[in-house]
Amino acid sequence: MSARLAGRRVLLVIGGGIAAYKALELIRLIRKEGGAVRAVITAGGEKFVTPLSVQALCEDRVHTDLFSLTGESEMGHIQLSRSADLVVVAPASADLLAKMAAGMADDLATTLLLATDKEVLVAPAMNVRMWTHPATVANLETLLRRGVSVVGPEEGPMACGEFGPGRLAEPAAILEAIVARLDGERILAGRHVVVTSGPTHEPIDPVRYIANRSSGRQGHAIAAALARRGARVTLVSGPVALADPAGVAVVRVETALEMRAAVLAALPADAAVFCAAVADWRVEAQGRKIKKTGAPPALALVENPDILAEVSRLEGRRPRLVVGFAAETGDLVAQATAKRARKGCDWIVANDVGAGTGIMGGAENEVVLITEAGAEPWPRAGKDAVADRLAERISGIFQ
């Protein structure tokens, strides 16, 4: 299977028109190429395809309403408009093109088309007279001038019985237009990167375990950001409640020992990013459930292998770039600089996880990148943005 869109995210706006049914095939084709689709259907679009069928194909919630409270609290329309690498409008009706040209924002689709900072690709579909009407011609000229790109329409017999240009481009042609726009920045194409993410669970006995508060959000975001740049990513993840990032091979593990084995099995790699909060200790094997006996049990702890340090010192198989994380609760730069030397890695991404920072398990991160050149503080940002910046830096090494 080719995966020319692995890790790429498309926000698909489905406008009104009989051709809306072809959007379903388009979603299937994008996903077959490894891309993720988030869909928005206009009120007109909903007359031709149901949110349920779109949702089933996307495997993601479909958005229809600007003022949906749950929608706004889960993800605001501004965030939605920027949560993709490309916005595709298919079919783009004459009305939708007119609203885009005029900068109107009276529903979810038009609002996010006005709010987006991403490239927009439109696939018009309408009756031939509507397509050739001077109003539509002028609207399209305006949109092209603003950098919107167009695929189709094609010429042929139309649902309304007329013949001429106005038919929605075939889904395969729209797919190629999407690939052409998203395939260019894949700086890490041909590179393999191993990423660890999440906590580890260390069993105390068959029912209990030791864990930590890591959510895996940062590591998963890094895996996704690397995949978007074309890398083949192996994500070795401890137990998390997150969806697998698009276009990433996920290996699920529970314990530090399993994580170590999975990382070593995934090598060789060009780069490795160790974001997991690996438990420092495991409990010596307990085959049976520990019973209450009156006195608390003494747990014998054994130190876990340090995967980052081990991979950093591998002879022959060491990835060219090894990146570790350092979660500290004080003296951040000094601690992380010492950790970089101790572990033998190239970079350390250090963050303060002290009480009140909301970083461990939260949506944002504030990090300092420690390299050979010194400490580089980055502004506080969403974990996705931090991941993008780190992926960009990693790409720089392999350019």
Task: Decide: is 278 part of the binding site for ligand C5P (CB under 6 A).
Answer: yes
The H-assigned helical ranges of the chain are 21-32, 43-46, 51-58, 69-74, 77-82, 94-102, 108-115, 128-132, 134-145, 171-182, 217-228, 256-266, 307-312, 332-343, 383-398
276, 321, 359, 390: which one binds ligand C5P (CB under 6 A) = 276
Torsion angle defined by CA atoms of residues 265, 267, 271 and 274, in that order, rounded to the nearest 10 degrees: 20
Q: How many CB atoms within 10 Å of residue 388? A: 19
Burial 151-161 (b: 16+ CB within 10 A, else e): bbbeeeebeee
Determine the interface stretch with ligand C5P among 144-152, 168-176, 227-235, 324-332 (rule: CB under 6 A). Answer: 324-332
Q: Which residue has the tokens 């697998």?
A: 244
When the beta carbons of 223 and 276 are compared against ligand C5P, the nearer one is: 276
Task: Answer yes or no: 160 catalytic.
Answer: yes
Report d(CA 351, CA 371) in Å as an integer.
14
95 is in an annotated binding site: no
Least distance in Å: CB of 319 to ligand C5P? 13
Options 272, 326, 367, 386; binder of ligand C5P; rule CB under 6 A = 326
Nearest C-alpha neighbor of 35 from the set 72, 1, 75: 1
User: With binding defined as CB under 6 A, does residue 256 bind ligand C5P?
Assistant: yes
Burial of 257 (0-12, 13-18, 19+ CB in 10 A): middle
Question: Which of residues 93, 116, 127, 196 is near ligand C5P by CB under 6 A?
Answer: 196
Amino acid at 241: A
Out of 58, 160, 275, 345, which one is annotated catalytic?
160
Interaction between residue 325 and ligand C5P (CB under 6 A): yes
Residue 274 lies near ligand C5P (rule: CB under 6 A): yes
Question: Which of the ranges 3-11, 210-218, 301-309, 386-394 carries the binding residues for ligand C5P, by CB under 6 A?
Answer: 301-309
Task: Check the annotation: does 289 bind a ligand.
Answer: yes
| Contact flag: residue 324 with ligand C5P (CB under 6 A) | yes
Q: Does 322 bind ligand C5P (CB under 6 A)?
A: no
Is 272 in contact with 264 (CB distance < 8 Å)? Answer: no
Q: Is 306 annotated as a binding residue?
A: yes
What is the 8-class DSSP label of residue 277?
Answer: B
Least spacing, CB of residue 147 vs ligand C5P, in Å: 40
- Taking CB under 6 A as the binding criterion, the range among 84-92, 181-189, 320-328, 365-373 that sits at the site for ligand C5P is 320-328
CB 271 → ligand C5P: shortest distance, Å? 13
Cβ burial, residue 55 (10 Å; 0-12/13-18/19+): middle
Nearer to ligand C5P by C-beta: 142 or 357? Answer: 357
Binding site for ligand C5P (CB under 6 A): 196, 256, 274, 276, 278, 304, 306-308, 324-326
Catalytic residues: 160
